[in-house]
Amino acid sequence: MPLAAASAAVASGQTVCVTGAGGFIASWLVKLLLQKGYNVRGTVRNPGDSKNAHLKELDGAKERLTLYAADLLHFESLKAAIMGCDGVFHAASPVTDDLEKVDEAIIGTKNIITAAAEAKVQRVVFTSSIGTVHMNPNRSPDIVVDESCWSDLDFCKNKGKQQNWYCYAKTIAEQTAWAMAEEKGVDLVVVNPMLVLGPLLQQTINASVVHIMKYLTGSVKTYVNAVQGYVHVKDVAKVHVLVYETPSAFGRYICAETMLHRAELVEILANLFPEYPVPTKCCDEKNPKKKAYKFSVKKVKDLGMAEFIPVKQCIYDTVRSLQEKGHLPTQPRQSTSFC
């Protein structure tokens, strides 16, 4: 059976739950699931909040999307949304460097896995992060980062003067998910995306998009000496559905297109959008230029993810979306072509 036909067969009549449905990744996931014919239950804090209005406007939402008021810290609210579902996509998680959010991420994860076990769902797809994979100062530069790698928790807690509580929380949450899934017999698959870019469906600005926006508003005058991996939000949603629909999928799946040094990022921004005050100098010109680590997406490609949207397109789509939603002023273009 062709892959498209097989996917349609899987979706037919299935009901899945997407936690944190109003978020950046989750909104695109809901959109894709509806397009494929799934009945979708989306958890949000307040279904009547205007910030979730975009979900109700998606094609198929009127017929096959139900929003549930739920909180990751309140088990019964999650259980009500998950009972009767065939699968769960756990995309809700605090995106913050706040130490106090660590416990919330852990409790939320435990609640999701427990509710999924009680509902006897076929599979849980957990949205994790590359931050659970690559944060390890002891890794040799020659090592290729793949799904077998884990971030060093002590390093995340004691990273100089800038503890990375986000990566710490995501790592602890993912490890908790694996332990709970094994204990309760839940079929768990994890997606580990790099920094996610692309157009916004929601009206609010999410944390990963701020990464781009700050270089266009004049709020920063220099860029940092750092590297970052990127992936398009449409590809992240596609991988989530791919690992859910493929029975042989297992373990973790890194989701990434490429890595860029900030110097490369701002150069792309300046070329695509020369009307904005993109910084041209690095704040750290004394130390050697940071080098990108090697990574592998062989596992997800072997599963059927043939290619990723190029990073230039990711960046272009992000900025155009910010303009269209009024978050960035649209100024006279010095260049009108995308390259």
Contact 338, 316 (CB under 8 A): yes
Write out the two tokens for 89: 């996509």
Catalytic choice (31, 36, 110, 170): 170
Q: Which of 226, 100, 230 lies closest to 165 in space, CA to CA?
A: 100
> What is the distance between the alpha carbons of residues 64 and 59, in angstroms, rounded to a whole number?
9
Residues 78/43, Cβ–Cβ less than 8 Å = yes
Residue 43 forms beta bridges with which residues? 68
233 and 261 Cβ atoms separated by less than 8 Å: no
Hey, what are 224's tokens?
């940092």
H-helix or E-strand containing 65? strand 65-69
User: Cα(113)–Cα(196) distance, rounded to whole angstroms?
Assistant: 25
220 three-state secondary structure? coil
- 202, 23 contact by CB (below 8 A): yes
Backbone angle region of 218, left / alpha / beta, with phi > 0 → left and psi within -120 to 50 → alpha: left
CA distances to 31, 77, 271, 272, 319 from 316, rounded to whole Å, are 21, 39, 10, 7, 5
Active site residue 170: yes
Closest by Cα among 69, 131, 319, 314 to 217: 319
Residues taking part in catalysis: 170
